[in-house]
């Protein structure tokens, strides 16, 4: 299968479980994916932890102070729970095993491959980047609940400006330099560093607008932020 026919999507936990499990999103997302599968595409879907992870982390930390590794493991298992949910949604199309290490020798013949968290020290954004690298997929779609990356938090700063295109070296100035469990950032800083290193393109799109995702895949005009390799 040509690599341009294989699409990797990091599905933020905020899309899967914004508060409760979003069955409307999952139903429509499945329809979108299967439409492209019928046209010969294959998909790698990496599940994030989102609020599920933060609820477990906050609850445990309230009772017993936790190390960062402990916090991360709660997040990792939250991503795996969400990944099993995706695996069940795509039960007839997906590879039976969920990928939990981006360094696994991935041999899959199915239309859909599901992945989840790997180890402490990063988010599933980083896992998605490494799996894309492993499979020689040059672009990554990151689905979250925002339309664009902004120069600042638009909820706090009315002067914040939306960003449609940005190089990695500039994007990395906008986000924290270190990973922290429960971090809320448009893209994991560890993943961003790796993307800059290997020259990967990432499109950050709002997963609530499925027609917009379709527009991006089809090479049409879309709403979102593209982070691309440095030109110099």
pLDDT of residue 205: 96
Q: Considering the entire predicted model, what is its pTM?
A: 0.93
Structure tokens at 65: 């102070």
Structure confidence at residue 145 (pLDDT): 87
Residue 41 is part of a domain; what is its CATH number?
A: 3.40.1160.10
H/E run at residue 129:
helix 124-134
Arithmetic mean of pLDDT, 41-64: 94
Q: What is the pLDDT of residue 149?
A: 93
Rounded to an integer, what distance in angstroms lies between the CA atom of residue 51 and that of residue 45? 18
pLDDT per residue over 115-154, tens digit each?
999 999 888 999 999 999 999 999 999 998 889 999 988 8
Q: Greater confidence, 178 or 90?
A: 90
Q: How many CB atoms lie within 10 A of CB 125?
A: 27
Contact of 75 with 50, CB cutoff 8 Å: no
Does 82 have pLDDT greater than 80?
A: yes
Cβ neighbour number for residue 97 with a 10 Å cutoff: 12
Are 191 and 129 a contacting pair, CB within 8 Å?
Answer: yes
Percentages (nearest 5) of helix, strand, coil residues in the chain: 40, 20, 45
CA torsion sign for 112, 139, 83, 224 is negative
DSSP at 81: H
Confidence category of residue 179, pLDDT binned at 50, 70, 90: confident
So what's the pLDDT on residue 1? 40
Instruction: Using the predicted structure, report yes or no on whether residue 178 has a pLDDT greater than 90.
Output: no
Confidence of residue 216 (pLDDT cuts 50, 70, 90): very high
Total domain count, the chain: 1
Least confident window among 96-100, 109-113, 182-186, 207-211: 182-186
Report the distance separating Cα 125 and Cα 143, nearest Å: 10
> Across residues 32-47, what is the average pLDDT?
97
**Cα–Cα dist 130/153, whole Å:** 28
Q: Are 47 and 116 in contact (CB under 8 A)?
A: yes
Q: What is the mean pLDDT of residues 206-227?
A: 96
Residue-averaged pLDDT of the chain = 92
Phi, psi for residue 136 in degrees, rounded to 5: 60, 40
152/150 Cα distance (integer angstroms): 5
Task: Write the Ramachandran bin of 146: left for phi over 0, alpha for psi from -120 to 50, otherwise beta.
Answer: beta
Domain that holds residue 10: 3-228
What are the CA-CA distances from residue 29 to residues 58, 197, 219 (Å)? 29, 31, 19
Is it the case that residue 3 has pLDDT exceeding 70? Answer: no
User: Residue for token digits 């930390």?
Assistant: 61
């Amino acid at each position: 299968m040509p690599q341009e026919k294989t699409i990797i999507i990091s599905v933020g936990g905020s899309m899967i479980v914004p508060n409760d499990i979003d069955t409307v999103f999952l139903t429509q997302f499945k329809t979108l994916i299967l439409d492209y599968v019928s046209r010969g595409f294959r998909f790698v879907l990496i599940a994030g932890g989102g609020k599920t992870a933060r609820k477990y982390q906050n609850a445990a930390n309230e009772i017993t102070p936790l190390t960062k590794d402990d916090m991360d493991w709660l997040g990792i298992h939250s991503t795996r729970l969400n990944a099993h949910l995706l695996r069940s949604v795509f039960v007839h199309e997906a590879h039976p095993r969920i990928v939990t290490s981006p360094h696994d020798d991935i041999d899959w013949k199915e239309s859909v491959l599901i992945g989840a968290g790997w180890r402490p020290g990063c988010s599933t954004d980083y896992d998605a980047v490494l799996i894309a690298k492993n499979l020689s997929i040059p672009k990554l779609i990151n689905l979250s609940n925002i339309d664009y990356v902004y120069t600042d938090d638009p909820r706090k700063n009315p002067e914040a400006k939306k960003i449609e295109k940005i190089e990695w070296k500039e994007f990395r100035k906008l986000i924290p330099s270190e990973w922290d469990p429960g971090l809320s950032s448009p893209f994991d800083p560890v993943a961003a560093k790796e993307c800059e290193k290997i020259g990967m393109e990432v499109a950050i799109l709002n997963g609530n607008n499925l027609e917009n995702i379709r527009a991006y895949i089809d090479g049409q005009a879309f709403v979102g932020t593209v982070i691309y390799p440095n030109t110099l």
